[in-house]
Amino acid sequence: MPNPIARTEDIELRLLLEAIYLKYHYDFRGYAMASVKRRLNQARERFDCRSFSQLQDKVLNEPGMMDELLTYLTVQVSELFRDPAYFRAIREKVVPHLKTYPSIKVWIAGCSTGEELYSFAILFREEGLEERTMFYATDINPEALRKAEAGVYDLERMRLFTENHRLSGGKSSLSDYYSAGYGAATFDKSLRKRTVFSDHSLVTDAVFAETQMVSCRNVLIYFNKDLQGRAIGLFRDSLTRGGFLGLGSKETLRFSPHADDFSDFSRDERLYQKRGAH
Amino acid sequence: MPAPARKPYQAVVIGTSAGGLKALSAILPHLPADYPLPIMVVIHVPPHRQSLIAPLFEEKSQIRVIEAEDKTPIEGACVYFAPPDYHLLVEGNYELSLSSEEPVLFSRPSIDVLFETAADAYGDGLIGVILTGANNDGAAGLKAVMAAGGAGFIQTPQSAFARAMPEAAIEACPSALILDLDDILLELKKAA
């Protein structure tokens, strides 16, 4: 078996990621490489490059190339109320705790195009928490953040979103929150009046607020273990004692150096609670 | 002088779709508990979040069977099923990772994604197996496995519940071994 580091292709991949970091400060060096390599190979083919080195030349010297590459490097696939059981557990188990706080801050880390944010905003409105809550929706991809802020989705996705919302224990009709037209569903802008959208990197940036809940789902799977450790460290430092961390349905704190800082709160739904002190 | 022994295989990847449960039942429960190679499996199932497939096989197999979690270190004597609605990938350091990227050939998990990343990690130490299925996922993946020097086994289309997947794999990989399920089991035992 070839030594993975010694292969030319892998050397070129590392140099490409280094170049992207040095020039644009997007740091993909600690990402899970199998997926990064696959996606950069797609980009390489799309831009007619023979090698990652050629792609590196392009991204260093051609304006606009980095934005193009970002769409390959950042994954933008989500749903409203994805994994309804997660939102049901938040509704039934987390909300009663959050209700004891006079003001609540929720961080949607890696919000991508906003589906998770709108899910939270709707749930918090239904549960009567919206008026005392501030949401932070962060991502590294400015184009995704623009889409999140716009809150416009394909109308054909609404059937799935509506079903997810119902399964999450939704107390209203999802259609109350968007207007439909020209094949698009535009979510009511009042849903984001208490949201700050911001460019933030879990890789290179620091904690920016004390929060009572962090939801970061299907983001950590793209990181290697070291980077996962860094991100989870940020969440721990941001969360207030007893604050809640929600991960994706197949993500786990089990392999994290910070696992001891959290306790299982709702195991199947991957909801964790920060322990008293650290 | 005898020919130098082939370097031992390090891992097995299996891809299947329609009819796959039954085909896998002819293989996984018949492997010994200490079968030394790790086996990663993608079977296309409707994307309900809770999968019953890993527990089903765990129940009737001697070898350990689990649903893969993110960053699970890959170990021998264990079968890892891709969770529904996630791609399963092999990292260069022999950990599994998951991804919710777009479906590939309408499939998530995608056989091609598993096979291609496993081929990248294991090179010629990998065995790729394509079983019954009704689409052409896996053909490009098996081709990548064999291009990296690995072995390819394909279920004989006549014996498959759905023949499209084996046929597509045969077309992409003419030098793969085309075998009935019994013989695939035998070859897997021999390879370990």
What are the per-10-residue average pLDDT scores of chain B (192 residues)? 71 96 97 97 78 92 95 96 94 94 90 97 97 96 97 97 97 97 97 91
Q: Are residues A65 and A89 in the same domain?
A: no
Q: State whether A69 and A173 are in the same domain.
A: no
- The amino acid occupying position A59 is V
Residue B90: list chain A partners with CB under 8 A: 34
Q: Write down the pTM of the prediction.
A: 0.91
CA-wise closest residue to A251 among A243, A259, A239, A240:
A259
Domain end: A21, A49, A73, which one?
A73
- pLDDT of amino acid B5: 62
pLDDT, one tens digit per residue, over A68-122 is 999 899 877 789 999 999 999 999 999 999 999 999 999 999 999 999 999 999 9
For A82-172, where are the E strands, in sequence order?
104-109, 133-139, 152-154
- At A276 the three-state DSSP class reads coil
**Shortest CA distance from B49: residue in chain A:** A83
Of the residues A73, A95, A110, the one at which a domain ends:
A73
3-class SS string, B96-130 = EEEECCCCECCECCCHHHHHHHHHHHHHHHEEEEE
Residue A159 structural domain: 84-274
- Supply the CATH number for residue A158's domain: 3.40.50.150
In this structure, is residue A3 part of a structural domain? no
**B152-188 pLDDT, tens per residue?**
999 999 999 999 999 999 999 999 999 999 999 999 9
| Same domain membership, residue A152 and residue A28 | no
Say how many domains are in chain A.
2
Q: Which one of A250, A254, A267, A268 would you mutate to disrupt binding with B, by most B Cβ within 10 Å of its Cβ?
A: A250
For residues A38 and A112, state if they share a domain: no
What's the rounded mean pLDDT across residues A15-26? 96
* d(CA B159, nearest CA chain A) in Å: 33
Residue B6 lies in a domain: no
Say yes or no: A93 and A43 in one domain. no
The count of domains in chain B is: 1
Burial class (CB in 10 A: 0-12, 13-18, 19+), B124: middle
**B6 reaches A (C-beta below 8 A):** no
Task: Confirm whether B3 is domain-assigned.
Answer: no
Mean pLDDT for all residues in chain A: 94
Does A95 share its domain with A162?
yes
Contact B104, B113 (CB under 8 A): yes
In a domain, A79, yes or no: no
The CATH number for B54's domain is 3.40.50.180
Residues 6+ apart with CB under 8 A from A61: none
Catalytic residues of B: 17, 44, 137
Contact A250 B90 (CB under 8 A): no
Contacts of B3 (CB under 8 A, 6+ apart): none
Domain identity same for A215 and A155: yes
Q: Is the pLDDT of residue A278 over 50?
A: no
Specify if B186 maps to a domain.
yes
Q: Is residue A78 part of a domain?
A: no
Structural domain includes residue B158: yes
Same domain, yes or no: A63 and A94: no
Q: Are A112 and A41 found together in one domain?
A: no
- Which residues of chain A have a CB within 8 Å of the CB of B92? 4, 10, 33-34
Element housing B13 (H / E):
strand B11-16
Q: Is residue A168 packed enough to be buried (19+ CB in 10 Å), middle (13-18) or exposed (0-12)?
A: buried
Residue B5 falls inside a structural domain: no
Q: How far is the alpha carbon of B188 from chain A, nearest alpha carbon, in Å?
A: 19
Same domain, A133 and A169: yes
Both A161 and A264 in a single domain? yes
pLDDT at A32 (0 to 100)? 95
Domain region containing B64? 11-191
Same domain, A123 and A166: yes
B142 and B130 Cβ atoms separated by less than 8 Å: yes
